Amino acid sequence: MASEAPARTTSLTAEAEDQGHYRDYARCVHCGLCLNQCPTYRLWGREADSPRGRIRQMFLVSQDEMPMSAAYVTHIDRCLDCRACETACPSGVEYGKLVELARGRIEQEYRRPPIPRFARNLFYRQLLPYPDRMAKLARLAGFYQRSGFERIATGSGLLKLAGLEARSQLMPRIDRKFFSTDATRVHEARGIRRARIAFFAGCIARMTFTSLNEATLRVLQANGCEVVVPGGQWCCGALAVHAGFRDVARDLARRNLAAFEQGDFDAVITNAAGCGSTLKEYGQLFGPEDKDHERAEAFGERVRDVTEFLDQLGLVSPLKREERRVTYQDSCHLLHGQRVREAPRRLLAAVPGLELVEMRFADQCCGSAGVYNITQTETALELLRQKTQHARETGAATIVTANPGCILQLRAGVKLASTGQEVVHVVEILDRALR
Amino acid sequence: MATRNISGEAIKELAQIVGSAHLLTESLEVSLYEYDGSVETGRPDLVVFPGSKHEVAALARWSNRHRVPVVGRGAGTGLSGGALAREGGVQVVFSRMNKILEIDVENRLAVVEPGVVNLDLSRAVASAGLHYAPDPSSQKACTIGGNVAENAGGPHTLRYGVTANHVQALEIVLPDGEMVRIGGGAVDPPGYDLVGLFVGSEGTLGLVVEITVKLTPLPESVKTLLAVFETADDATETVATLTAAGVTPAACEMLDGWTIRVVESSIQAGLPTDAGALLLIEVDGMREAAEEQAQAVIDLCRKNRAREVRTAQSERERETLWKARKNAFGAVGRVAPDCYVQDGVIPRTRLPEALRRIGEIGRRHGFDVGNIFHAGDGNLHPMLCFDHRKADEFARAMAAADEIIALCIEMGGSITGEHGVGMEKDRLMPLLFSQADLALMKGVRDAFNPLGLLNPGKIFPGGKGCGEIRIPAASATEGKRGTARVDEAGGSGPSGADGALRDRQA
């Protein structure tokens, strides 16, 4: 694995990106149609924790009409960035972009208390950008999970005592073998080649969702895609963008731009909706004057979620019958971030015998939201409790979704509520039906 | 801007009533309640989130004791500033009181708390084949409590009526903290029809804490038609023809060309952007009747030179069309920072003339006026787009708006069809009502709300309540928007009561 950290290319203070976004903010006509779609507004009923209220606060701060107070930071931190408000908004306010810019400014100008500041810097600056460090950490966690330490910690009630029981359920299971992206690999298409695509493997997913990544390759190959896994790729930067570390995200973006410019591909494919949404929006990370802006825009236009791509391409591989009732949980960054709603549903409907039962509020966030379930655990668990209830009501044996983060969260949910349901990705359903 | 001196003691009492976690005192948080969906503002001094009707009653007693106004608020989607604390005081936000208490499928009734979201109720009863019929465009966010206060309408008002037609009974808290039930089971309850009086009283008669609403069966069949016209005149004449022919659809909405283009850029519903106007018409009922009526509508549209009449082929297509209609006001945010959505009524037979003259008024003041409205009942919603940062645009927009409303009245219509008077149209009331009319209405308000502590400064010209100079109703229209404030820190003395008295004599 590459051990070099990306070179720091942008100074922290060089940007004041959210200044002068008056036009973006002015699109909001404060009609309030977003309120009831916002998970935190639904929980607490507070304007300050609604999209409309957050837009007003971000606007006032961006115009220097309001100080960057602790209360302001709290309200912005509590946002899931699920972007359900964007789907609801008739005026086309790009809320995700605004909240990400606002968080960028918070990161630059606001001094958090020592412990969170230390933890954030450690994770976003010292770990996330370095594949080798992340891998070492993952191996350590894998050892903890497999060696019996975890069983002891759980069994002895130690985790419960520390209030960490639910939180430990949210931790990913580390794979024995990681999905490699050290060197470029090519996987031939099965049958006639219909497309040549580049696969984006993710960062944490590469160490915890190896089997999902492999299933994705199989499904793509079976449908006539030559799949290239470009070497040198790493984290998309979504977590960093969402936390306000825009310089880190830009450096990661440049690394991926270089990796995916190695060849000529029909599309760049990801099975992680959260990553896809950020990859598609790489252009937003670089101002119009930046030399990388155009590259980033061009790259973004080629990115497709795997469900979106397969749906457009059309399935050609024969699928065997699968008598099973499933329900689909929309991944926010697929539905709201990328506006892909029907594609995953159509793919599921293509499997003979599969019965899709819609759950209530399928379009509402499960509480995963990147690292939200770690930073705002209580809120995340409340949203998860509701989600688990809605999923249970459908009587489905399987909950299907389209993002590794959502899968982790939902698996924790079904475990905590002992519903016995399995949680899988859309492509895993297709993969099973292949054989 | 805190306008009142509310003592530390009084604030402590308030915290005891609702719990300190449900009281906002910090200026950042409080300032987020100074706006709603309208172009008005009014900032409260404090915000509370009661959790039960008993807490609301205690809040009313508190308000009475300390002579501090209270103003109810649901989701803040109103378009006339009805829920804004024009004179400061305590904003009572009902977002925690959002439970559906009872669904009685057999009697087609539901009992809800005021903070229940309109569409959430319809969703909750859909499996029983029922819905809550009033469907304001903001129905996915607005609350039933707010709907009751403003007597909200919506596209399907044409067939199903407004909120008032769907409220069976109410439990209200009066300003002195007394809780009373009004209305009831009988079709014609004995005594005064207080529910009829209360619905649409804009929070000036009491705070609603429980609502019994009527549920309506979902129609067996719904047909949604989109008629495309080359000119707005053809579309409006079609509406007049439908009326004359006795064809009453469930909804009949019109979008003019300007609005079609703005909405299509937002929703991508496949609307023809080169059209002069569209009619979105819905008919419903038993299958055969709906089909027959749909055919009658299609024939009449064709007769009036409709270029095309489409029928929605699926529920999804129907939803998309309605989404285009219901998101229209918000979509305007794409073209201008501010949008003033008006709400006037004219006799529907005079639609063609009204639209032409509204266009002329707009042009004279230098604005494009978009029109999207409930054509079937003559309820217009002209939209004026402006940018409040540009020197005189706000003033010009308001001047144009006033002329449009004056036109509605001249044509024999009204100053509001469904958005309410609020703080938007109070000064226009004398154009429609005589001194005697207004005095009677004030008498009603004072009977419920003698100290003027409930939502002061609304409905009646010249503001209302403590610390305001009384402007005789007749001269109010000559004055500026709003009223002169003499004693901003006032409100704890008996001046409110005196004011009310003087009002009655005025």
User: What is the tens place of the pLDDT at every residue in A285-302?
Assistant: 998 899 999 999 999 999
Here the tokens at position B267 are: 């929703």
- Which band of pLDDT confidence, cut at 50, 70 and 90, is reported for residue B500? very low
Q: What mean pLDDT do residues B434-462 have? A: 95
Question: Where along chain B do its domains lie?
Answer: 8-93, 100-217, 221-329, 336-410, 437-505
Residues A28 and A97 in one domain: yes
B100-217 carries CATH number 3.30.465.10: yes
Residues A403 and A425 in one domain: yes
Indicate yes or no: CB of B330 within 8 angstroms of CB of A72: no
What is the Cα Rg of chain A in Å?
21
Q: What local confidence, expressed as pLDDT, does residue A2 receive?
A: 39
Size of chain A, expressed as the number of residues it contains? 435
Q: Percentage of residues in chain A with pLDDT exceeding 90? A: 77
Q: What local confidence, expressed as pLDDT, does residue B191 receive?
A: 86
Q: Which residues contact A391 (CB under 8 A, 6 or more apart)?
A: A327, A329, A359, A399, A410, A413, A414, A419, A421
Query: Nearest to residue B211, comparing CAs of B57, B50, B99?
Result: B99
Domain B336-410 in the same topology as domain B100-217: no
DSSP for A241-285, please give it. HHHT-HHHHHHHHHHHHHHHTSS--SEEEES-HHHHHHHHTHHHH
Residues A282 and A219 in one domain: yes
Here the tokens at position B113 are: 């708390």
CA torsion, ordered A425, A426, A432, A435, to nearest 10 deg: -140
Claim: this prediction has a pTM higher than 0.80:
yes
Q: What local confidence, expressed as pLDDT, does residue A407 receive?
A: 96
Sort residue B67 into left (φ over 0), alpha (ψ -120 to 50) or beta. left
Contact B153, B417 (CB under 8 A): yes
* Cβ neighbours of A73 in B, within 8 Å: none
The answer to which of A174-178, B142-146, B160-164 has the lowest mean pLDDT is A174-178
Residues A232 and A139 in one domain: no
Contact A64, A70 (CB under 8 A): no
Q: What is the 3-state secondary structure (H, E, C) of A39-72?
A: HHHHHHCCHHHCHHHHHHHHHHHHCCCCCCCHHH
At A392 the three-state DSSP class reads helix
Query: Nearest to residue B228, comparing CAs of B282, B294, B275, B283?
Result: B275
Residue in chain B nearest A54 by alpha carbon: B32
Residues A214 and A289 in one domain: yes
Distance, CA of B386 to CA of B393 (rounded, Å): 6
Contact B306, B238 (CB under 8 A): yes
Here the tokens at position B387 are: 């940018």
Q: What mean pLDDT do residues A52-61 have? A: 95
**Residue ranges making up the domain that contains A44:** 21-109
Distance, CA of B324 to CA of B317 (rounded, Å): 11
Final residue before a domain boundary, out of A258, A288, A311: A311
A11 belongs to a structural domain:
no
Q: What local confidence, expressed as pLDDT, does residue A162 receive?
A: 67
Sort residue A406 into left (φ over 0), alpha (ψ -120 to 50) or beta. alpha
Distance, CA of A76 to CA of A72 (rounded, Å): 6
- DSSP structure class, residue A180: P
Distance, CA of A166 to CA of B246 (rounded, Å): 64
CATH class for the domain made up of B8-93: alpha beta
- Over residues B415-436, the pLDDT tens digits come to 988 898 999 889 889 989 999 9
Residues A53 and A156 in one domain: no
Query: Nearest to residue B382, comparing CAs of A368, B413, B7?
Result: B413
Instruction: ipTM value, please give it.
Output: 0.87
- Which band of pLDDT confidence, cut at 50, 70 and 90, is reported for residue A122? very high
Q: What mean pLDDT do residues A194-210 have? A: 94
Residues A84 and A53 in one domain: yes
- Which band of pLDDT confidence, cut at 50, 70 and 90, is reported for residue B487? very low
- Mean pLDDT across chain B, nearest whole number? 87
Q: What mean pLDDT do residues A169-174 have? A: 80
At B333 the three-state DSSP class reads helix
Residue in chain A nearest B47 by alpha carbon: A46
Q: Which residues contact A211 (CB under 8 A, 6 or more apart)?
A: A175
What is the Cα Rg of chain B in Å?
23
What angle, rounded to 10 degrees, do the helices at A273-280 and A293-302 form?
Answer: 140
- Over residues A346-379, the pLDDT tens digits come to 999 999 999 999 999 999 999 998 889 888 989 9
At B228 the three-state DSSP class reads strand
- Which band of pLDDT confidence, cut at 50, 70 and 90, is reported for residue A163? low
Q: What local confidence, expressed as pLDDT, does residue A11 receive?
A: 33
- Over residues B101-157, the pLDDT tens digits come to 999 999 999 999 999 999 999 999 999 999 999 999 999 999 999 999 999 999 998
- Mean pLDDT across chain A, nearest whole number? 91
Please name the amino acid found at residue B231. Answer: T
Query: Nearest to residue A296, comparing CAs of A282, A313, A284, A306?
Result: A282
Q: In this model, does residue B484 exceed pLDDT 60? A: no
Query: Nearest to residue B491, comparing CAs of B45, B50, B173, B12?
Result: B45
Q: What local confidence, expressed as pLDDT, does residue B485 receive?
A: 32
Distance, CA of A156 to CA of A170 (rounded, Å): 19
Partner residue facing B77 (CB), from A26, A31, A90: A31
Cα A252 to Cα A133, B335, B440, distances in angstroms: 15, 36, 71
Shortest Cα distance, chain A CAs vs residue B482, angstroms: 22
Q: Percentage of residues in chain B with pLDDT exceeding 90? A: 70
Contact B340, B355 (CB under 8 A): no
The answer to which of A53-57, A178-182, A332-336, B93-97 has the lowest mean pLDDT is A178-182
How big is the A-B interface in CB pairs under 8 Å?
101
For residue A221, give the CATH number of its domain.
3.40.50
Contact B404, B382 (CB under 8 A): yes
- Which band of pLDDT confidence, cut at 50, 70 and 90, is reported for residue A236? very high
Indicate yes or no: CB of B138 within 8 angstroms of CB of A71: no
Q: In this model, does residue B483 exceed pLDDT 60? A: no
Indicate yes or no: CB of A29 within 8 angstroms of CB of B49: no
Residues A221 and A156 in one domain: no
Q: Which residues contact A291 (CB under 8 A, 6 or more apart)?
A: none
Please name the amino acid found at residue B29. Answer: E
Q: In this model, does residue B468 exceed pLDDT 70? A: no
Longest Cα pair distance anywhere in chain B, in angstroms? Answer: 71
The answer to which of A5-19, A150-164, B38-52, B142-156 has the lowest mean pLDDT is A5-19
Q: Give percent helix, percent strand, percent coil of chain B, each to the nearest 5.
A: 40, 20, 40
Query: Nearest to residue A190, comparing CAs of A429, A435, A428?
Result: A435
How many CA atoms lie less than 13 Å away from A299 in the CB half-sphere?
29
Q: Which of B22, B24, B29 has the highest number of chain A CBs within 10 A, making it the mutation to test binding with A?
A: B29
The answer to which of A86-100, A259-273, A412-426, B385-399 has the lowest mean pLDDT is B385-399
Distance, CA of A70 to CA of A77 (rounded, Å): 10
Query: Nearest to residue A402, comparing CAs of A352, A351, A355, A348?
Result: A348
For residue A40, give the CATH number of its domain.
1.10.1060.10
Residues of B near A (Cβ–Cβ under 8 Å) read 26, 28-29, 32-33, 35-37, 49, 75-77, 93, 95-96, 98, 115, 117, 119-120, 138, 140-142, 266-267, 327-334, 337-339, 387
Please name the amino acid found at residue A58. Answer: M
Here the tokens at position B367 are: 């604005």
- Over residues B316-332, the pLDDT tens digits come to 999 999 999 988 888 88
Q: What is the 3-state secondary structure (H, E, C) of B136-182?
A: CCCCCCCEHHHHHHHCCCCCCHHHHCCHHHHEEEEEEECCCCCEEEE
* Cβ neighbours of B26 in A, within 8 Å: 71
* Torsion angles phi and psi, residue B281, rounded to 5: -120, 135
Dihedral sign of CA atoms B195, B197, B202, B204 in order: negative
Query: Nearest to residue B117, comparing CAs of A45, A55, A1?
Result: A45
- Over residues B358-368, the pLDDT tens digits come to 999 999 999 88
Q: In this model, does residue B479 exceed pLDDT 70? A: no
Q: Which of A139-148, A162-171, B199-208 has the highest mean pLDDT?
A: B199-208
- Over residues A73-112, the pLDDT tens digits come to 999 999 999 999 999 998 889 999 999 999 999 999 999 9
Q: What mean pLDDT do residues A162-185 have? A: 81
Q: What local confidence, expressed as pLDDT, does residue A27 receive?
A: 87
* Cβ neighbours of A27 in B, within 8 Å: 333-334, 337
Cα B220 to Cα A287, A377, B121, B465, distances in angstroms: 54, 46, 20, 50
Q: What mean pLDDT do residues B164-175 have? A: 96
Q: In this model, does residue A158 exceed pLDDT 60? A: yes
**Locus of tokens 């606007």:** A59
- DSSP structure class, residue A14: G
Q: What local confidence, expressed as pLDDT, does residue B3 receive?
A: 52
Q: What local confidence, expressed as pLDDT, does residue B463 receive?
A: 46
Distance, CA of A424 to CA of A212 (rounded, Å): 9
The answer to which of A135-149, A372-386, B121-135, B299-313 has the lowest mean pLDDT is A135-149
Q: Show the CA angle centred on residue B82, arms to residues B80 and B85, nearest 5°.
A: 125
A1 belongs to a structural domain:
no
B336-410 carries CATH number 3.30.70.2740: yes
Indicate yes or no: CB of A30 within 8 angstroms of CB of B339: no
B221-329 carries CATH number 3.30.70.2190: yes
* Cβ neighbours of B328 in A, within 8 Å: 90
Contact B455, B461 (CB under 8 A): no
**Total structural domains in chain A?**
4
Q: What local confidence, expressed as pLDDT, does residue B499 receive?
A: 32
User: Exposure pattern of A290-310 as b/e (b: 16+ CB <10 Å)?
Assistant: eebbebbbebbebbbbbbbbb
